[in-house]
Each structure stands twice: as structure tokens, then as C-alpha cells.
Amino acid sequence: MFSSRRANIIYPLMIICCYILMRCTAFTKSSTHRKIPRIIREIPLLRTLNLVQTTFLGVGTAIGGVMFAIMGRAVAEAGPSIVVTFLIGAFFALIMGLSYAELGSSVPSGAGGAIAFVGRAFGKKTPTFIAGWFSWVGSITDCAIGSLVFALSVNYFLRWVEPFTLAILTLIVFALINFRGTRSMSIVQVALTGVLIFTLCFFIAGSSLSFNANRFEPFFSNGIWPMFAMVSFIFPTYAGYESITQMSEEVKTAGKNIPKALFLTLAVITLLFTGASIAMVAGAPPEIYANSATPLQDAATYFVGPIGGAIVSASAMVATLTTINGAMAGGTRIAFALSRNDFLPSIFKKVHPRNRTPFIALALTVLIAIFFVLTRSINFIVYAISLGYSVTAIMVALAVIRLRKTEPNLYRPFKVPLYPYVPIIAIAALSFMIITMSLDALVLGITFGGVGLLLLFVSRRIRKTQKTEEPVK
Amino acid sequence: MVRYLRIMIVGAGDIGLPLIHYLSERGHLLTVIEKGEAACKHIVNHADAAIFQGSGEEKEIWKNLEADKMDALMALTNNDKTNIAVCEIAKRDFGIPFVIARAHQPESIDLMEAAGADIAICPSIETRRLFLNAIESRIVETLYEKANVGFKIVSVIIPQNGVAIGKNRDRFDEPEKLRISSIFRNGAFVFPSESFVFKGGDRVLLMGESETVEKAAEKLREAEIT
């Protein structure tokens, strides 16, 4: 159904065409060759998110369909030691997150997260573009995949619902929620994430009914190595929690709240993931979930009967919705930041005067997500993203080091402990993760990065010729 | 629609910190230079600002601030020398359009204005004026004072048994030093003519050299001792 071969050539081409078209049109007059009078103010983003809302944003965005899908294979490969695998994953996520915490608490104009930090450290150069490109496409992909998974889940129960239509409708609904403002996005996120956490706790509690501690023996059912090897497999479940920093200009008392929210989010999702893995291992025999596409649902059915499966299915759907909501908000701010760094036309910097959202960046982000849904070749993108995620995180760690040198006076409410060892370890761990990536993922990721660089090169060429034409006009 | 300003504040002390809270709450974009760790921490915990730790006098610290994009700067440290230096850097090196400085000593006001401050405020003088007005219970009220030039505008209410009643304006005017500019009587204002005399309940507006004004005000508020 997902024919990828043709699409793999066509849709990068289409992306390039659209981008060139955009650059050539009237919207592209860059503000750099027009002095904007001080009276016309840029409208700033509004700080509305408190600690709880920010934490729920992180938890909801991080917990997506991934956990529900991979749990079966993860437990099958590593056995009961998967619990430790999740803890190791949490440790790596923490090491990586410490850099985000330092920069998120101190870098001014931090909307967009990684791209803003890398931009501050390295300027409007290629590394910043790469960070922005990968994280933006990552967010868009989260939206596209989330909406498709949601629609397919609904379609599973309600056969008459056409999945692709529902997926696009879902994206439009969340676009409207995001357009209304950060407060509206946050209310939805807190509500949905609350449901998500509750249902997951229900799942974990449900395992007590058929809890059998013997199932933990033998702890290393396939040897010790899988416990470590599976870390990179489960690591994407943690990915997304650092996306809190993308909203850093909209968090109240951000210097204090962003580090707190990051660590709270990590704590919550670690508890939920390890709890769920313990529930799986102890609550049900491996045959139930080992080769299942819906391992948690099957385990829940084993715990409490069909009602359990239904609740977990609902939980999975809510998880995709929270990810769409959070990724859409984050992706919008990344596009906003790309525009600030002159990688996108300045029109994407516009903030809606009443709703205080970057509404044009939102429209673009959602349109591209809808486009991805329409082209129906998600596999390509998914592989390309995992490389981008690690590359971006490496650049953020490098940004920490560079900014300690170039901006010693910038006040850092949170500082990475054991500097410079922690950023260096983070870079090493992420590089390790890249090296142990599947060849497919590596190649596709590099290709994708190449597409981005090509776009950058082309747009710079266009701008250069625009500049040389101007005096003649 | 509200305008949001980019405001730079140097010195988060007794005056700076409350201002930072106030402005941050109203959505203005603040950049703060502050030396002390405790103050920086306080800002982080209660407000939002881009904070740079160090002294405003060091040129180094200004490099990454985007100071040229600021709408206004306030030099609020409790050291006048620092504030003067900050005003210079702000105006001369970065062309910040609106610079406000705080003067600890009244004498510094001139120096700050010379260094580039558009407005220099000496809180102790302002506060003195407010408390003196309070003591005088509005009978004598200083409406405007420019201390470094020695100029004052004062309003005095003539009591019903006032010594000045029936007297002519000429008794109080002093060319070059004092002018009685207008009188408020029965809800209207009057510019005194040659034949004008004072009545009880008149509110007199005097302006001129501070000392002379003060003396005249004393005379006008005097009541007959019966």
C-alpha cells in the first residue's frame, strides 16, 4: 500500500520545487534590505505556560504511538532486562537533556529550541540551518505519522472512516486549536495528557491482577548484550521531551521553569515506561505480546479482559493526539526561528496580534504535514528523522561548549554539571547511536540532510541574484 | 493595542528589580546587566529577562546584547559613576534612542545629561518633594522642581484669614526671580492684572528661583494672628 520507490524520487523533487517557487515570489522581500522603522514593532510571543502546563506538554509530545508499537519486540529481544534498558535510555536522555536545560534557561529569544541555541552559538550559518531543518521536518513528521496512526486506529474500529481523510481533518483541527493561541493548545494538551497518564497508570495497575514475579526469571533471557543493544531501539520513546525548549519564549519564568519541566517530564515518562515494561514482563507471558503489533493492548486484555484492550487502544489514540498537538506547536516555532535566522522568508516571523501565535509559520508547517500524509510514503521519512534527531542533539551539546567560551557573561540559571565532561559524553553517546543505526536509516538520513543543504544553496543563490538585480531596479 | 518595548536595564537593585518585575509582567522584552548573583537569581525566579552578569561599565559585556536594537535603556545602579559611563556607552556606541539614568547625588544629574541621558532622575529629590507636600498638607505644594537649575513651580492656598488678603501682586513678584503666573479662584483661572488683589481661598501658582519661591510661598500662606 505504501509504494515508496516512486515517491522517494518524486516528493523530494516536489519539496524543492515548492521551496524555489516560494523564494521567487513576492513574499521573499527580505527585511534586510528595508529598514523597518522602530514604530512598527514585532509582536512578541506571549508567556502563558506555567510549570505544570509545560511538563504536560513535554510528556504528551514525548509519549506517542512509538511506545505502544515497539514494546512487544523490545521485551521479546531483551526479556525482563528491558526494564534496565529503559533506565539506561533514561540516563542517556538525561545526559542529552542537560545541555537543553542549560541553553533553554539562558539563551534569549529561544523559540524553536535547538535551532535558536545553535543559531546563538554559531550564527546564521549552515549548522544552524541543519539543526532547524532536521528538527522542523522531525516535528512535521510527528504530526503526519501521528495523524495517520490515529486515523488508522479509528478506522480499525469504524471501518467506514476513510483514514487519509480523517488524518488530514485531524491535522486541520489541531491547526485551528494552535491558531487560537498557546493557551488553547495548552488546555487541550493538559486534558489529553491527563487522560494518557491515567490510562497508562491503569495499565500498570492492571498487571497486578496477573502479576507473577517468576516471570522475571531468567532476567537476561537472551543474554546480557540485548539489554544494551536495545537501548537505541527504545530511545525514540524518550525523544520529544526536549521539544519543550521549542516553546521557551512562551513559558513563564522560563529560566526557572524550563529546566524543572525538562527533568519532571523525563521523570514522569521514565516512570511510565519502566512501569509499563515491568507490567508487561510480570503481568503476562511473552507469547501474548512477543510478535504482536499491539503488544500493550494484548497484555491489557490478558490482565483484565477485553475492556483492558479497549482502554489501552484509546490510550494509544490519545497518545498520538498529544504528540500531534505538541509537535505542531513546536514545529511552528521552529519555522518561526528559521525565518528569524533568514532561512525562510520573513513573512513567517509574523505573529498574530490577538492570538499571539506565528500563524503563517503554523499554516506552512501544517500544509507540509498534510502533504506528507497525501504522498503516503511515511517510511522514508521515519528513517531519515532518527539521524536528524541525534545530529541536532550533538549540535546543541556543541553549542553549550561554544557559548561557554563566547558568552561567559550570559547568566545561566541552570548549568550543565561536570562541564565539560557531560556535553562530551553526550556527543559520544549520540555519535554511538548514529554509528549503530541501520544502514537504511543512515543513508536516508544523509540524503535528507543533503536535500536540505541543496535547498539552502539554491535559496542563497536566488538571494544573491536578487541582490545584484536590485540596483538596476 | 499595547506597544511592547525592548528595554535594557543596568543594575537590578532597589529601583531596578521592582521595575524589572513590573515591565516583565506587562510583556516587555527586557535585557538586564547585573553584577550580583542573588539579584540575577531573583529575576530568574520571578520574571523573564535576558540576563548578563557583570558590570555595565565593561565594554565586553555589551558585545552580544544587540544593544542597537533597544528602544530604551535605564541606568539604575547605585553608583553614579557607573550610570554615567553606561549612558555614554548607550548613546555614543549604540545610539539607543531613549536613555534614562538614576542619580544618587543631585549633582550627578548634570553629568548624566552631559553623558547622554535624556532624563536623569534623582529619587531622593523626588521623594523629598512628595514628603514635603505631605507635611504641608497641600497648602503649599511643589508641582515641579528642577533641582540642578534651582527652579520650582509651587501652588499656595491663601487661608481665609490670610495676611496676603487685599494685597497687590506686586508685593510678591520679583523680576528675574519670581513670577506669580496665575491664580485659581472659584473654579476659574485668572491672570493677574495691575489692579489684582488676593482673596481668601485663592490658589496661587508661583514659579521661579527655588529659594525666592519658597520665601514667597511662606508669606502667602501666613494667617493673621488673632
Give per-residue pLDDT as tens, A325-368. Answer: 999 999 999 999 999 999 999 899 999 999 999 999 999 999 99
- Residue A231 pLDDT exceeds 70: yes
- Residue A277 pLDDT exceeds 60: yes
Q: How far does A64 lie from chain B, in Å, by closest CA?
A: 31
CATH number of the domain bearing residue A347: 1.20.1740.10
CB contact under 8 A, A41 and B31: no
* Residues B12 and B115 grouped into a single domain: yes
* Residues B116 and B11 grouped into a single domain: yes
Report the distance separating Cα A426 and Cα B189, nearest Å: 77
Report if residue A354 sits inside a domain.
yes
Q: Kindly give, in sequence order, each residue whose CB lies less than 8 Å from that of residue A34, ignoring residues fewer than 6 positions away.
A: none
Report if residue B34 sits inside a domain.
yes
pLDDT of residue A264: 97
Report if residue B180 sits inside a domain.
yes
**pLDDT per residue as tens digits for the range B28-58:** 999 999 999 999 999 999 999 999 999 999 9
Q: How far does B54 lie from chain A, in Å, by closest CA?
A: 6
pLDDT category of residue A378 using cuts at 50, 70 and 90: low
Domain count within chain B: 2
Domain count within chain A: 1
Report if residue B82 sits inside a domain.
yes
- The verdict on A413 touching B (C-beta cutoff 8 Å) is yes
Q: Residue A10: in which H helix or E strand, if any?
A: helix A4-24
- Residue B1 pLDDT exceeds 70: no
pLDDT category of residue A370 using cuts at 50, 70 and 90: very high
Task: Say if residues A204 and A283 touch (Cβ distance below 8 Å).
Answer: no
Amino acid at A295: P
CB contact under 8 A, B64 and A38: no
* Residues B44 and B18 grouped into a single domain: yes
CATH number of the domain bearing residue B205: 3.30.70.1450
Span A139-156, mean pLDDT? 90
pLDDT of residue B112: 95
- The verdict on A410 touching B (C-beta cutoff 8 Å) is yes
Q: How far does A116 lie from chain B, in Å, by closest CA?
A: 14
pLDDT of residue A29: 47
pLDDT category of residue A16 using cuts at 50, 70 and 90: low
Q: Residue A345 sits in which domain range? A: 44-467
* Residues B117 and B73 grouped into a single domain: yes
CB contact under 8 A, A256 and B40: no
Cβ-nearest to A44 among B27, B45, B71: B27
Chain A residues within 8 A of B1 when measuring between CB atoms: 353
Report if residue B226 sits inside a domain.
no
Comparing alpha-carbon positions, the chain B residue that sits nearest to A406 is B64
pLDDT category of residue A11 using cuts at 50, 70 and 90: low
- Comparing A223 with A274, the larger pLDDT belongs to A274
* Residues B172 and B114 grouped into a single domain: no
**pLDDT per residue as tens digits for the range A292-338:** 888 898 999 998 989 998 999 999 999 999 999 999 999 999 999 99
Amino acid at A216: F
- Mean pLDDT, chain B, integer: 91
pLDDT category of residue A51 using cuts at 50, 70 and 90: very high
Of the candidates A390, A348, A358, A339, which has an alpha carbon nearest to the alpha carbon of residue A131? A390
Tell me whether residue A334 is exposed, middle or buried, using C-beta atoms within 10 angstroms of its C-beta: 0 to 12, 13 to 18, 19 or more.
buried
* Residues B110 and B174 grouped into a single domain: no
- The verdict on A399 touching B (C-beta cutoff 8 Å) is no
Report if residue A191 sits inside a domain.
yes
pLDDT category of residue B2 using cuts at 50, 70 and 90: low
Chain A residues within 8 A of B96 when measuring between CB atoms: none
* Residues B138 and B181 grouped into a single domain: yes
In DSSP notation, A195-257 reads HHHHHHHHHHHHGGGG--GGGG-STTBTBSHHHHHTHHHHGGGTTTGGGGGGGGGGBTTHHHH
Report if residue A393 sits inside a domain.
yes
Q: What is the phi/psi pair of residue B181, to 5°?
A: -90, -40
User: What is the SS3 assignment for B186?
Assistant: coil
Q: What is the phi/psi pair of residue B202, to 5°?
A: -65, 140
Domain boundary among B98, B121, B144: B121
Mutate to test the interface with B, among A411, A412, A414, A415 (most CBs of B within 10 A): A411
Report if residue A443 sits inside a domain.
yes
- Sign of the torsion formed by the C-alpha atoms of B12, B17, B23 and B24: positive
pLDDT of residue A12: 62
- The verdict on B47 touching A (C-beta cutoff 8 Å) is yes
Chain B, 95-154: which have a CB under 8 Å from a chain A CB? 97
Residue matched to cell numbers 538571494: A463
Task: Give the range among A129-143, A186-200, A217-231, A289-303 with minimum mean pLDDT.
Answer: A217-231
Span A132-147, mean pLDDT? 92
- Residue A39 pLDDT exceeds 80: no
Count of residues making up chain A: 473
**pLDDT per residue as tens digits for the range B143-175:** 998 888 899 999 999 998 888 898 888 888 888
- Residue A267 pLDDT exceeds 80: yes
Q: How many beta carbons lie within 10 A of that of residue A427, not counting itself? A: 21
Report the distance separating Cα A247 and Cα A112, nearest Å: 7
* Residues B116 and B134 grouped into a single domain: no
pTM, 2 dp: 0.84
pLDDT of residue A63: 94
- Percentage of residues of chain A with pLDDT beyond 70: 89
Report the distance separating Cα B10 and Cα B216, nearest Å: 41
Report if residue B115 sits inside a domain.
yes
Comparing alpha-carbon positions, the chain A residue that sits nearest to B27 is A46
* Residues B25 and B112 grouped into a single domain: yes
- The verdict on B50 touching A (C-beta cutoff 8 Å) is yes
Q: How many beta carbons lie within 10 A of that of residue A32, not counting itself? A: 11
pLDDT category of residue A3 using cuts at 50, 70 and 90: very low
User: What is the SS3 assignment for B136?
Assistant: coil
Q: Residue B16 sits in which domain range? A: 6-121
* Residues B106 and B56 grouped into a single domain: yes
Comparing alpha-carbon positions, the chain A residue that sits nearest to B39 is A411
- The verdict on A260 touching B (C-beta cutoff 8 Å) is no
- Mean pLDDT, chain A, integer: 87
Domain boundary among B121, B151, B181: B121
Q: How far does B44 lie from chain A, in Å, by closest CA?
A: 5
Task: Say if residues B122 and B104 touch (Cβ distance below 8 Å).
Answer: yes
* Residues B82 and B134 grouped into a single domain: no
Span A234-238, mean pLDDT? 86
- The verdict on A44 touching B (C-beta cutoff 8 Å) is yes
Task: Say if residues B213 and B152 touch (Cβ distance below 8 Å).
Answer: yes
Tell me whether residue A157 is exposed, middle or buried, using C-beta atoms within 10 angstroms of its C-beta: 0 to 12, 13 to 18, 19 or more.
exposed
CB contact under 8 A, B51 and A47: no
Span A364-391, mean pLDDT? 82
Amino acid at B106: P
Report if residue B1 sits inside a domain.
no
Span B185-210, mean pLDDT? 90
Q: How far does A409 lie from chain B, in Å, by closest CA?
A: 5
pLDDT category of residue A30 using cuts at 50, 70 and 90: very low
Long-range pairs for A25-31: beta carbons < 8 A, 24 or more residues apart: A27/A345, A27/A347, A28/A345, A28/A462, A28/A463, A28/A466, A29/A345, A29/A346, A30/A342, A30/A345, A30/A346, A30/A463, A31/A346
- Residue A382 pLDDT exceeds 80: no
Domain boundary among B78, B102, B121: B121
CA distances from A270 to A69, A177, A234 (A): 17, 29, 12
Span A36-45, mean pLDDT? 65
Report if residue B161 sits inside a domain.
yes
Q: How many beta carbons lie within 10 A of that of residue B72, not counting itself? A: 17
Span B207-215, mean pLDDT? 93
- Residue B104 pLDDT exceeds 80: yes
User: What is the SS3 assignment for B126?
Assistant: helix
pLDDT of residue B93: 94
Q: What is the phi/psi pair of residue B47, to 5°?
A: -150, 180
* Chain centre distance of CA B181: 22
Q: Specify whether the backbone of B61 is left (phi greater than 0), alpha (psi in -120 to 50) or beta.
A: alpha
